[in-house]
Structure 1
């Protein structure tokens, strides 16, 4: 499965209870940039660059797929430079709770 397909499936993997009362915009800089908007207990995906983001993740398509499929640890990817994160790093640490990777097809 490719990175862009996985991004489009993020709303299926969203766990509303883990983001209750929160609003976030997460920019995903992969080959086809996109961003996730989390608000009012829902997650939506948009193409392009967010006007303003709380967290920006920059990662190759291959490493994004590995992260989402649980084959690459997010902290290890960040420490090794495979994943670049800027903005709310506490939000970055919570992404594995906010999104259930096992719900993604592929």
Structure 2
């Protein structure tokens, strides 16, 4: 069974960010994650964060991905991230280098 995307963004990630607040702020960016079929979340890991909330907001890097591809990304971010990107299934707008820092973001545990 895969990851519950809504639970991940609405419960697990906010709790993990709160626990790792100082380290999370070192990422220094705002992300917009749009998971097709699941929803949209705005993640702030800049000096004003950390925060993760449903909806859309200001972002330095916007990522759009289908729910089934997001499952693959969470399972193995390093191997599947580039593969999905080059297949056109992981779309990145804004600062593409920030997309590389997402792996750190999802490595936090509550």
1:66 aligns with 2:66: no
5+ residue gaps in structure 1?
none
Given candidates 20, 23, 30, the residue that maps to 1:17 is 23
What residue number does 2:55 align with? 48
Instruction: Give yes or no for contact 1:2–1:61 (8 Å, CA) kept in 2.
Output: no
The number of aligned residues is: 101
Q: CA deviation at 1:79?
A: 0.3
CA RMSD of aligned residues (A): 2.5
Return the structure number with greater relative CO, CA threshold 8 A, min gap 6: 1
Could you tell me the TM-score, scaled by structure 2's length?
A: 0.73
5+ residue gaps in structure 2?
none
1:76 aligns with 2:83: yes
- Closer, same or farther: CA 98–41 of 1 in aligned 2, 3 Å: farther
- Closer, same or farther: CA 83–64 of 1 in aligned 2, 3 Å: same
Q: CA deviation at 1:26?
A: 0.4
